[in-house]
Structure 1
Amino acid sequence: MSFIFKPLAWTMGIPWSEAEFVGTLMGEKIVFTELIAYGDLQSMINNNQLSKRSAIIASYALCGFANFGSIGIQLGGIGGIAPDRKKDLAKLITKAMIGGALASWLTASVAGILI
């Protein structure tokens, strides 16, 4: 997953030498959950694998609930409120996850500009 997200991490302002680490975290966040990614971010900070600036940008990039586990939570929660609209919700929920991830990454990009 890191090779997919490495260029995206670089465009957020992460140095190329650290972009693979942050790309790995971004992939973990999407596939698993942000809690796992934040735990690995802490390990990378403790092992001096990331600069302070990269760690700050990564913390913004990992913020949010845009992951595959959240799809089920949203489908169950919102589907319970409007059970007759579950089909419509199922069509939109993956796009919503992608939009949420893009929002977090855009925030990280702005942080990269300002730091």
Structure 2
Amino acid sequence: MGKKIVFSELIAFGDLKEMIDGNMISNRSAIIASYALCGFANFGFPWYSRWGIGGIAPERKKDISELVLKARLGKTIASFITACIAGILI
């Protein structure tokens, strides 16, 4: 989860694949981890959001800058809640 938040979910999924191939984790754990890793809540995403949306609404860049970190936290929580629900259902 740390690599997902700091770097990218692609790097974290690569590590998850290695764990699955090496039989280090169970199938249930792999499914739950997959749900937790889905989402764009890494450190780079808020800046992409600011630049992308800021280009559409340049007069609102300050507002966007204030909201992107809150949005990142919300995305992380949503991904983890989804993983919790998946863990309950499987």
Shorter-chain TM-score tier: over 0.9
Indicate the residue corresponding to 1:108 in structure 2. Answer: 83
Aligned sequence identity (%):
64
2:42 maps to amino acid: N
Instruction: Measure, in 1, the Cα distance between the counterparts of 2:46 and 2:67.
Output: 10
Q: Give the Å deviation of 1:49.
A: 1.0
Instruction: Measure, in 2, the Cα distance between the counterparts of 1:69 and 1:50.
Output: 28
Structure 2 regions of 5+ residues with no counterpart?
none
Higher relative contact order (CA 8 A, sep 6+): 2
SS in 1 for 2:44: helix
1:1-115 residue pairs with structure 2 within 5 A? Answer: 26-115=1-90
Number of equivalent positions = 90
1:111 maps to amino acid: A
Deviant stretches of 4+, over 4 Å: none
Normalised by the length of structure 2, the TM-score is: 0.97
Q: Give the Å deviation of 1:47.
A: 1.0
1:59 maps to amino acid: S
2:55 maps to amino acid: G
Structure 1 regions of 5+ residues with no counterpart?
1-25
1:91 maps to amino acid: E
Q: Name the Cα RMSD after superposition.
A: 0.6
